[in-house]
Structure 1
Amino acid sequence: MNTRKALLPLHASGTRLPVLASAILLAIQAPDLLAAQATEEEAVLPKLTVTAQKRVEQAQDVAVALTPLTGKDLQERGITNINQLQYQTPNLEIDPTYGSDQTQFRIRGVGLRDYATNNTSTVGVYVDEVAYPFTVQTQGLLFDLDRVEILRGPQGTLYGRNSTGGAVNFITRKPTRAPEAEVKVGYGSNDYKTLEGFVSGPLTDTLRGRLSYAGKDGGAWQENRVTGQKLGDKDINAFRGQLEWDASDALRFNLIANYGRDQSDSRGARLYQGLLPRNISGQTNYASIAPDRRQHYTGWGVSPGFAAATGLSLDDKPHRDNTSKGISLTTDWALDDHLSVTSITAYNRLDRNEYIDWDGSAIAQSDEFFDTVIKVFSQELRLASEGNGPLDWVVGGYYARERLDEQFFSDFSEYRGLGNIYLTEYGQRAETISLFGQGRYALADDWTLVFGVRQEHERRTLNDYVTGYLNDRAPALDQSLRSDETSAKLGLEWRPAVGHLLYASISRGVKSGGFTTYNTNATLASSLTEPFQPEKLLAYEIGFKSDLTQALRLNGAAFFYDYRDQQYQSQVWINQDVGNVGRLINIPRSEIWGAELELQWQPLANLNISQYIGFKAGRYQDFQGLDSSATAANGYAFPVYNNFDNDNLTNFPETSYGGALRYNRVLGPLEWTGSFDYAYHDTLNSSTTGRSTNHYWLANARLAAAPQGGNWELALYARNLFDKEYDLYKGSFLSNAQMAHSGEPRNFGVEATYRFF
């Protein structure tokens, strides 16, 4: 690896398989057909720089299904949270579980439905190469970013952690060698206010710094169906500071510290089928709640007992008070022109306090409060080489230590059959050690062999797990899980002409095992906390990347996944007295297959069009599961099991589609830029809740004006332009609260940006 070049600042300037095959053929033949049409005046698509394979290269040279988004893309499309990325790339979904910060990631259908905090994601999320293993850690503001790289398919032979679904890499803007400063203010619907800014530049000849800030306030759009009280205000502040020091021509240090505080309202639940109270004897007989006919209706309430147990106030709204902080040190040392060492040392902490009303009403049938502390330390060390010969490689080691402590309260005091407040508390510890490496060998000028392997040892423990009624809980339990797993990759790349890449790969990814930590009866704690095993994914993929002309780019991929020990939120039968309870299990074998196409076209120098489409489907191959409905129908006298072999997987939408248009033009003294993006989200059928989230379209628009070569910009935006009513998540709890968590309605706003240098 030419590390002297690598040390330079990085600033990035339903289809089916036959359709993909046709596209591959077009990619090979099109250059001869289109080259004659090219002229010197033809618009040219930008070349995006990425580091997805731990070296600096053009995105079109990376033989991985990869979607890069620049910081400018994120700004123009109003993306300030990781969840919004699902509308920018094929076969990616991110759902807020029960409206909380505990989100669900899926790439190409690979994901875990789990509302508990303690289990790691199938999708690796990284900020400046630092892993955030728990999904609740990923909900901070996105600001002052250079780019985002979204990789689809198993990762591991080049990354600090294993993942079966893919990876999302955030790369922040680095300190600059010349002074720069900027501030942006915004105001929108429902008194929504934003403020962002940064200052960057040299402190000495060898030391540079950067300080960034982002904040949100207001924006409440939900309404209590009874009192009319508003819900949904944002109250977020985030800071990031960086120091970059050139200790010598060959040695560079980058120190990053971040801090965030989120005191926003949580998302309220809409009772789309109403609610029939199941009150216990002797308590208030609440009237039934009619189905909510408006998307923004919701409800909540804190009982005196729940307030006393959690420290909440009786008049509290659903809200969070989360604090995140972290620090990382990246060291790049060029040993010589062809060999370098990279070290990444990091520590992150999240303190989470979140109150959510899962039944969406004033009735104490399912009110939840999470008190969580997460601490993660990690150390990665890599040695990389890129010489003049046919072989280049990266090898490394990774160590991580995780500590999670949580109290999880549930208020079922007005639910018949339970009639009490539950408390589950526990500690979870994990230690991961791995060695990994990946190499590339040039078989010929246009053929390259890729090979990689990773060996990982992990130990997870569940400590002092206690659950049950607040005043009657089981003795503390301990569980442990050890695993030694291997990930690997073998690929072949062919470059038949400049600007054209075809590739095929076989890769194996692994996701960590874990523990079910739901609230439960004290007598069931031992059986429910038995660990579930790591899941394994063997992925077969073919793809192509092709610049058909300087102005037309088409990328595509098709994949087949052999899925073993898939982690799945299901139910298990305990006995006649207890019946069915929820638990995470392993499904022995299933399959997923699909395809994706991404297109970028710049027909004019000032017009850019992008499109994507993704399709996926799957089925169980070996799954004997509990039929919870049939078991309930016989009064839980005995369990009824079904053979689900060859049944379709339903935990993900089949089709994703979207695109964006950007046009700029000079009129008088101003340059005007209009942008429009849209996305289609297919129906999501849940086999765990039995509910379907309907398909929907979303569209956003932005119009900006700035003087040519000037230092300010004024922009108007509209999000959810056509005021589409849609649900992000739909489910039920205890079969009583049929609730959904709605997306935000149409909102408008204005943004003003001023650059000081």
Structure 2
Amino acid sequence: MSALRLRPRPAPLAAAIALLLPALAAAQEPAAPPVTATRLDAVTVTAERREENAQDVPASLTTLDGEKLDVLASGGNDIRFLAARVPSLNIESSFGRSFPRFYVRGYGNSDFDLNASQPVSLVYDDIVLENPMLKGFPVFDLDRIEVLRGPQGTLFGRNTPAGVVKFESVKPSQVADGYLRLGYGSYGTATFEGAFGGALTESWSARISGLYQHRDDYVDNTFSGEDDAYEGYDDSALRAQFLFDPGTGFSALFNVHARHYNGTARLFRANIIEPGTNDLVDGFERDEVAYDGRNESTLDTEGASARLTWDLGRVSLYSVTGYESAETYNRGDIDGGYGAVFAPPSGPGLIPFPSESADGLPFHRQLSQEFRLASNEWGRFDWQAGVFWFDEAIKIDSFDYATLAGGVQDGYAQQKQDNTAWAVFASAEYDLTDRLELAGGLRYTRDEKDFSVVRTQSPTGAGPLSLSTSPDATDTSGDASLTYAVTDDLNVYGRIARGFRAPSIQGRVLFGDSISVADAETVWSYELGTKASFWDNRARAGFAVYRYTVDDQQLTAVGGSANFNQLINAEETVGQGAELDFEAYLTDSLLVTVGASYNDTEIRDAGLNIAPCGGGCTVTDPAAPVPGLVSIDGNPLPQAPRWVGNLTARWSLPVGADEFFVYTDWAYRSEVNFFLYDSVEFTGKPLLEGGLRLGYLWDNGRYEAAVYGRNITDREVVVGGIDFNNLTGFLNEPRTVGVEFTARY
């Protein structure tokens, strides 16, 4: 699409902020710096596939590392703890600790099919994790997390039009080091995390990292009378890395990793939302459900990678080879209750019909290969170019069970898909002057899918079914930026970027007789920003305003009275907003970080009509000409909070050679729509969650003992729903408190 087709309608806030950029750029040194000698370390990132100072990267990004990352992940938290901890980032899941769905700047995908694609890519140790069941790999022994906002269509490729979340593990070295962390808290939550690494020979080093997390079942099933029936889990992961570096200009880093999860699937709770509001019903109890169906979840993933580097003098050659696989089975009582109105007793509340289903991934295999050539300090001009290849094969099982007949299987379908993609790319940076840099890149991508689905058993009495489709797409994506160093400590930049997401396929035919295919989507994004360090490197800040337009955005119309999911394309979606990152030592003993974002999204398609909820909810969208449908033109994107804010503060008190500290963190996101249509009941309330940690460090920081609390105000909010049946929802994580001990060596 051409940039000339954009219809500029900047929000007043975004326009006002944009006008402030020249003033920000002119601000050489803020007045009245605090009296302190503590300075911030430079933040090194690989957002552009090279190690560089984050201040020099012409894009909006946030990093999490060190103690902050450890604190946020404490108490057995899974990857969803990142939600709202970074400007413009939201994460949610209807699967619980697996299948996280990422949203950046309000731009994501709420599809829960195991074949779903997302416009936010997760890259773990340089390997893209494409299938959503891979994306929940636990967070442990990480050097840092980088969240790159906006299209990353040059160096990371397809399926990155909203951004990239990038994980970097701690790498092996010749220096022996490691840590051991033990924790215990509410609900019998036990955590074990550790790593050890060092030299094997003069050329070989290794690092072994492991994680184990456990929580007891604590939710009673009041229908069966079983106490402590649900919400427990055992989650373990292992990573082994081996580095060969003989000092001859060649190095090789090998990585093998695996995860095993066994626990409860997401607990869907019938009629927990008060009709006409988005409040929980009176008398709601978090630790109770009433189920007559089964609930279980298992997940096994494994993978390996090889990253080879040849230093050839003027250039370096990189090879990144990856293998990933996953196997999973998730079964839940989707109606959230027991019985049905036509098969009493039933409840809680209205249960129009029973629903018990499962999704499985009996086979998954992903292979990827990249070769990249990069210049080594060519003066004013630097460049990199490469080729990328991706191949994925999956099988997806869909099951339905007759709860009222004892849970016997009464529906089965299997999807199969082969996806191959390849790309060529190049990018370059040129110093026009000592202070002005021009950068840009292009990527050409070819994506092909062969998809088929077979239904052999229908819960509705329909006959067998066999369907297939083979969509493909090509696209040229890329970016261009201009960065000006106002001073050595202050940069301003402008960036334009184009992103691309390949076609998607939905083949859930248990309750329908058709395949839905969403065409490829493309996005143009425009961004202005500034990054600065000040107060003699005791503080730094980043600020950006942006606007993007998506053509043919892939959306998922879920549920409804037909209990059928369908992929659709919206003619156009517009997003705009602003983002702020701030970090400072206000005193020697007080470190504060602040993040904030404003994200305004709007679907623009006058002819886009979908089915609303199947019953019980109050829909506020206008009725469409076709009976039973509503228009979603003008609605915000689902799970897209307009406001996100976060704050951390660490205060320390020396105790001789030791240290006592207090660490608090808070994250806020404003209300969200769970679905494409606007409904009073299926609008998630604003959510504010806080954490607190009190700790003592001794022996030069080698040992730490701490008490912690997560969601310390015990906020209870519905964070997602099931809309085809009744006012069924699921909740945020409960308050947990506990203790941790860490030994570093």
| Correspondence 1:10-159 to 2 at 5 A | 16-17=13-14, 20-21=17-18, 24-34=21-31, 37=33, 41-78=36-73, 80-97=77-94, 99=96, 101-159=98-156
Pick aligned residue for 1:682 from 653, 663, 670 = 670
Q: TM-score, normalised by structure 1?
A: 0.87
Contact 1:536 1:563 in 2 (8 A): yes
Q: Per the alignment, do residues 185 and 376 of structure 1 end up closer, same or farther by CA in structure 2, a change over 3 Å counting?
A: same
SS at match of 1:75: helix
TM-fit CA distance, 1:385: 0.8
Match of 2:236 in 1: 237
TM-fit CA distance, 1:472: 5.3
SS at match of 2:505: coil
Q: Per the alignment, do residues 737 and 411 of structure 1 end up closer, same or farther by CA in structure 2, a change over 3 Å counting?
A: farther
TM-fit CA distance, 1:22: 6.5
Pick aligned residue for 2:579 from 584, 593, 596 = 596
Q: Which amino acid aligns with 2:366?
A: V
| Correspondence 1:449-528 to 2 at 5 A | 449-466=438-455, 469=458, 473-521=463-511, 524-525=512-513, 528=514
Pick aligned residue for 2:704 from 700, 713, 716 = 713
Pick aligned residue for 2:326 from 337, 350, 354 = 350
Report Cα offsets for 1:397-421 as digits up to 9, x if no partner. Answer: 1101011101111236659xxx983
Match of 2:296 in 1: 319
Q: Structure 1 vs Structure 2: percent identity of aligned residues?
A: 24
Q: Which amino acid aligns with 1:104?
A: R
Q: Per the alignment, do residues 731 and 708 of structure 1 end up closer, same or farther by CA in structure 2, a change over 3 Å counting?
A: same
Q: Which amino acid aligns with 2:202?
A: D
Contact 1:236 1:260 in 2 (8 A): yes
TM-fit CA distance, 1:516: 1.3
Q: Per the alignment, do residues 223 and 744 of structure 1 end up closer, same or farther by CA in structure 2, a change over 3 Å counting?
A: farther
Q: Distance in 2 between matches of 1:662 and 1:739?
A: 39
Report Cα offsets for 1:116-141 as digits up to 9, x if no partner. Answer: 11022111101111000122211121
Match of 2:527 in 1: 541
TM-fit CA distance, 1:639: 5.0
Contact 1:270 1:295 in 2 (8 A): no
Q: Between Structure 1 and Structure 2, how many residues are aligned?
A: 700
| Correspondence 1:652-671 to 2 at 5 A | 652-671=640-659
TM-fit CA distance, 1:294: 1.9
Report Cα offsets for 1:348-372 as digits up to 9, x if no partner. Answer: 1111112222222234712221220
Q: Which amino acid aligns with 2:329?
A: N
Report Cα offsets for 1:370-407 as digits up to 9, x if no partner. Answer: 22032100001100013343211111111010111011
Q: Which amino acid aligns with 1:394?
A: Q
Q: Per the alignment, do residues 102 and 518 of structure 1 end up closer, same or farther by CA in structure 2, a change over 3 Å counting?
A: farther
Q: Per the alignment, do residues 487 and 469 of structure 1 end up closer, same or farther by CA in structure 2, a change over 3 Å counting?
A: same
Q: Distance in 2 between matches of 1:241 and 1:98?
A: 28
Q: Per the alignment, do residues 407 and 631 of structure 1 end up closer, same or farther by CA in structure 2, a change over 3 Å counting?
A: closer
Report Cα offsets for 1:603-627 as digits up to 9, x if no partner. Answer: 1222110111111112233341225
Q: Per the alignment, do residues 409 and 637 of structure 1 end up closer, same or farther by CA in structure 2, a change over 3 Å counting?
A: farther
SS at match of 1:116: coil
CA RMSD of superposed structures (Å): 3.0
Q: Per the alignment, do residues 384 and 115 of structure 1 end up closer, same or farther by CA in structure 2, a change over 3 Å counting?
A: same
SS at match of 1:359: coil
Contact 2:509 2:515 in 1 (8 A): no
Report Cα offsets for 1:1-24 as digits up to 9, x if no partner. Answer: xxxxxxxxxxxxx99325634653
Q: Distance in 2 between matches of 1:529 and 1:460?
A: 14
Contact 1:224 1:298 in 2 (8 A): yes
| Correspondence 1:251-270 to 2 at 5 A | 251-270=250-269
Q: Distance in 1 between matches of 2:333 and 2:614?
A: 29
TM-fit CA distance, 1:571: 7.2
SS at match of 2:310: strand
Q: Distance in 1 between matches of 2:733 and 2:476?
A: 43
Match of 2:683 in 1: 692
Q: Distance in 2 between matches of 1:273 and 1:445?
A: 62
TM-fit CA distance, 1:562: 1.1
Pick aligned residue for 2:436 from 447, 463, 476 = 447
Q: Distance in 2 between matches of 1:743 and 1:130?
A: 30
Q: Distance in 2 between matches of 1:172 and 1:37?
A: 35
Contact 1:102 1:116 in 2 (8 A): no
| Correspondence 1:726-741 to 2 at 5 A | 726-732=717-723, 734=724, 736-741=725-730
Q: Which amino acid aligns with 2:473?
A: S
Report Cα offsets for 1:125-171 as digits up to 9, x if no partner. Answer: 01111000122211121111110000110112011544111000000
TM-fit CA distance, 1:254: 0.3
SS at match of 1:624: coil
Q: Is the counterpart of residue 616 in structure 1 residue 599 in structure 2?
A: yes
SS at match of 1:267: coil
Q: Distance in 1 between matches of 2:633 and 2:207?
A: 55
Q: Per the alignment, do residues 638 and 110 of structure 1 end up closer, same or farther by CA in structure 2, a change over 3 Å counting?
A: closer
User: Which of 22-31 and 78-87 deviates more?
Assistant: 22-31
Q: Distance in 1 between matches of 2:496 and 2:624?
A: 45
- Give unmatched runs, 5+ long, in structure 2: 1-10, 276-280, 340-352
Report Cα offsets for 1:228-260 as digits up to 9, x if no partner. Answer: 434211201111101000144200000000011
Contact 1:579 1:636 in 2 (8 A): no
TM-fit CA distance, 1:482: 0.9
Pick aligned residue for 1:185 from 182, 186, 209 = 182
Q: Distance in 2 between matches of 1:723 and 1:751?
A: 20
Q: Distance in 2 between matches of 1:31 and 1:323?
A: 53
Q: Per the alignment, do residues 750 and 389 of structure 1 end up closer, same or farther by CA in structure 2, a change over 3 Å counting?
A: same
Match of 1:568 in 2: 555
TM-fit CA distance, 1:710: 5.1
TM-fit CA distance, 1:442: 0.9
Q: Is the counterpart of residue 554 in structure 1 residue 541 in structure 2?
A: yes
Q: Distance in 1 between matches of 2:540 and 2:271?
A: 44
SS at match of 1:42: coil
Q: Distance in 2 between matches of 1:98 and 1:352?
A: 11
Q: Per the alignment, do residues 28 and 43 of structure 1 end up closer, same or farther by CA in structure 2, a change over 3 Å counting?
A: farther
Q: Per the alignment, do residues 413 and 631 of structure 1 end up closer, same or farther by CA in structure 2, a change over 3 Å counting?
A: closer
Report Cα offsets for 1:207-243 as digits up to 9, x if no partner. Answer: 0011111101124343324424342112011111010
Contact 2:25 2:530 in 1 (8 A): no
Q: Distance in 2 between matches of 1:91 and 1:76?
A: 21
Pick aligned residue for 2:308 from 331, 337, 351 = 331
SS at match of 2:579: strand
